[in-house]
Copies of this chain bind each other. A is one copy, B any other.
Amino acid sequence: MNSRPSSPFDANPSMAPERIITVELTDRSYTVLVGAGLLQRSDLWTRGIRAHQVLIVTSAPIAQHYLNPMLKTLERFSPEVIVIPDGEQHKTLQTLELIFDKLMQLRFDRSATLIALGGGVICDMTGFAAACYRRGIAVIHAPTTLLAQVDAAIGGKTGVNHHLGKNMIGAFYQPSMVVIDTDTLSTLPVRQLQAGLAEIIKYGLLADEPFFNWIENNLSEILGLRSQAVQKAVLTSCQIKARIVAEDETEQGIRALLNLGHTFAHAIETLTNYQSWLHGEAVGTGLVMAAHLSMLLGYISTHDYERIANLIHKAGLPTRPGLDIDPKSMLDAMKQDKKIIDGTLRLIVIERIGQAKVSSDVPLVLLETTLNTFCQTYA
């Protein structure tokens, strides 16, 4: 019972087997395909779609580049299309209703499939719409940003924002397939590429030392979008995330490690009203701060802390919260996320490069030292 259903990619796949990842979740298992030019591969899409009714959900900037090729690839499904507003400020129940309205007007039934073509916001909203429409229809993610390719598209965290908090309304809902076409990164602004790189570095830091070392040695190849390097970076990140999600789908335990650096990052994003920082940029700085704290806790050496801070810096990411953020505000914002009990709090720390853990008794005084170090240097 609950065994994994056969995947259409199990036998004789028409792509290299090493580029096929399976997220093992018994009856909700699914395939992640990683490669160049996959949006053009009708054969793969035909294999993965089991519906007559297909709706592509995308945004205007993405549609401009990729909608026509996608329509051609999916020609035999005569897909319908809805273009929705993109960006965190539009990740709301109101935008979700646009998708529901479209599905109802089309009279799509429970066998329909949604395709999310875009970045993290498009994937999060489309996934949540699929989770709710008629209590659940299929969704395929085709992420077009580096951040979405290594994070949002895999693992089934879907949802929208509440005006009082990010991602507060949502569902754990797994896609039926994820198609990652690394060619789409060629139209990505470099700042967004760097933002995606922050999450990739995170995977090395929390789970895979050789991968971290490889990123250090191949940074310019990745940023230069050299095909081999980009595909390895994405593929390895997805493998790590797939493994962790398979172990802990609804974040009761180990999946929390994926939030390394994120408590710092969320505080920065909150204090700047999600305006000036990209999420990945905030994660970059958050990783450096988590590394600093881990050093203070005695887990990693000064040398390793410097390696981490250096890599983030060389990736073009910010390594400090900026002049407008003081330690006190930062601490207050972090308290929204975490409870301080008896002068200690629970944070994810780096035990050594390639291994993270939840530390449930981080002394407040050490966190304050890190905050003072990072927020007051320029004061």
Contact = CB atoms under 8 A, between A and B. Distances in A.
Interface of A: 2, 26, 93, 97, 100-101, 104-105, 131-136, 157, 159, 162, 164-165, 168-172, 250
Contacts of A136: 171-172, 250
Which 7 pairs from chain A and chain B are nearest by CB?
A104-B164, A135-B170, A132-B169, A104-B162, A135-B172, A135-B171, A93-B93
A171 B93 CA distance: 15
B2 A132 contact: no
18 contacts: A93-B93, A93-B97, A100-B168, A100-B169, A104-B164, A104-B165, A104-B168, A131-B171, A132-B159, A132-B170, A133-B168, A134-B168, A135-B170, A135-B171, A135-B172, A135-B250, A136-B171, A171-B171
A135 B157 contact: yes
A131 B169 CA distance: 9
Nearest to A134: B168
Contacts of A105: 164
A342 B104 CA distance: 25
A256 to B, nearest CB: 12
A172 B173 CA distance: 11
Contacts of A100: 162, 168-169
Nearest to A160: B132
A316 B159 CA distance: 45
A216 to B, nearest CB: 35
B135 A159 contact: yes
Contacts of A97: 93
Contacts of A165: 104
A133 B2 contact: no
